[in-house]
Structure 1
Amino acid sequence: MKPSKGPREPGEFAYADNVGIVEATSKLFALTVDLWNRILQDHGLIFNLQKTEVMVVSWQNKLLQVEVDGNTLQETTGYKYLGVMYNDRGTHEGAIHDRIQKHTANINFLYPLLKKKNVPMKIKTTVYKTILRPTLMYSCGAWTLTNMTIS
């Protein structure tokens, strides 16, 4: 279900029971949220206000107050969606840090196996290729690297 008629920029995206709305101005954002709410109600669905958060992606500190049926939606500075961290600055430091933490936790968990001399190198390589590397590299194609993230 997509409220707008045809593709437009910036737009909306939906996956399962999650909807992301991206707009250039707070006024357009509020109008789009209101449209989604009305369409959901028309189809007997409920806009879950307890789970809904809004976030402004900007280098400036901007507030975004959006109301749905008289209730102000909670503003956040970051969230995790499909295992990827997003923040209000539009950078990926949090996502990269999260991936490194998960990778380190897996290494610590698998260390007893990886340090054993009687475990063949082929098995250790398979563990690296199927568990450790994918954990570290998940969603890395979408990361924007800065000097800070590279170091």
Structure 2
Amino acid sequence: MQLKKRKKNFYEKLKQVYNKLPKCDVKIKLGYCNAKVGKEKEKQPVAGLNSKHMESNNNGCKLIEFAFSKGLVIKGACLPRKDSPYADDVVLSARSTEAVTAPFKEFEAAAKNLGLEISETKSKYFVTEKDRRNTDDLQLEEYNFERADSLIYLGSEMTPENKVEADITNRIKAANRSYRVLCIMLKSKHLRRLVKLTLYKTVIKPVLMYGSKAWVLTEALEKKLNIWERKVLRKVRYGKL
């Protein structure tokens, strides 16, 4: 009963927020509603024909009801779906070449069962050790994998010495790109300082700090990050309080 009440309150608040928006604005509702939108005939004007579910669950019905009442369309169910013919960001780790052979065979067999093939050109192997004299390629079965000096994994750069300098430099470059996109707004004298700070904290700073929980900072690196942050915050000083 309590869960049903919370759902009811959620959609009532959502309708209240929606009704306050200007009619001429384009409205896009984003978020996870735990909703299964089905292919029922009576729901097709809102949900379309391309949902992966045959029947809607209770949350799906509530979402469809809200969309229908406001003249919205559930795009996730209207657009055609295609199964992705690839797998990305797969990592096999081991302490030696012999130890990684068995997991690789299992992975190769599982990939073939799904109709996938391992790409030698896109796959690399990486060694985290100080002794880098051995630069030979890795031979596994009929595959030959090139050794990489550094590796970008999930947006973070990894090096054999596990140093974070290169990763921080890349994060600063990425944050600079985000900063340049919003630079005009940050310099504007018409935006309040609180709005600019919100833009910095929600759009720019997360780009810089992505993966930072794994960083081990020296004083020099900490100083480098502080200098960059002060550069951005100097632009925020203009504008109304």
- In the aligned structure 1, how far is the partner of 2:183 from the partner of 2:91? 39
1:49 partnered with 2:87: no
Q: Which residue of 1 aligns with 2:172?
A: 100
The SS at the match of 2:173 is helix
Question: Counterparts of 1:147 and 1:24 in 2: how far apart (Å)?
Answer: 32
Residue identity opposite 2:107 in structure 1 = W
Please, what is the CA RMSD of the aligned residues?
A: 2.3
Which one scores higher on RCO, CA 8 angstroms, separation ≥ 6? 1
Say how many residue pairs are matched. Answer: 136
Superposition deviation, residue 55 in structure 1 = 0.6
Per residue, is there more helix in 1 or in 2?
2
1:138 to partner: Cα distance: 1.1
**How far apart in 2 are the matches of 1:39 and 1:117?**
58
Counterparts of 1:1-151 in structure 2, within 5 Å, are: 17-42=88-113, 44-61=115-132, 62-63=134-135, 65-146=137-218, 149-151=221-223
Q: Identity over aligned residues, as a percent?
A: 23
Cα deviations by residue, 1:71-95 (Å, 9 ceiling, x for unpaired): 3111111222222222222222221
Give, as a single letter, the amino acid of the residue that structure 2 aligns with 1:50: T
3-state secondary structure, aligned to 1:36:
helix
Q: Deviations over 1:15-57 (max 9, x none)?
A: x533211111122123432342234335543222222110111
User: How far does the alpha carbon of each residue in 1:112-151 deviate from its partner, in whole angstroms, 9 at most, with x for none?
Assistant: 2212222111211111111121111111011222455345
Higher strand share: 1
The alpha carbon displacement at 1:60 in A equals 1.3
Q: Is the 8 A contact 2:150 2:158 kept in 1?
A: yes
Q: For 2:179 and 2:172, how far apart are their aligned partners in 1?
A: 10
In 1, the alpha carbon distance for the partners of 2:88 and 2:167 equals 23
**Structure 1 residues 131 and 44, CA, compared in 2 at 3 Å: closer, same or farther?**
closer
Distance 1:92 1:28 in 2: 27
Contact 2:149 2:159 in 1 (8 A): yes
**1:4: which partner in 2?**
none
Closer/same/farther in 2, CA of residues 33 and 64 from structure 1, 3 Å limit: farther
Partners of 1:93 and 1:120 in 2: how far apart?
35
2-structure distance, mates of 1:86, 1:18: 14
- Normalised by the length of structure 2, the TM-score is 0.50
- Structure 1 residues 18 and 86: alpha-carbon distance in aligned structure 2, compared to 1, 3 A threshold: same
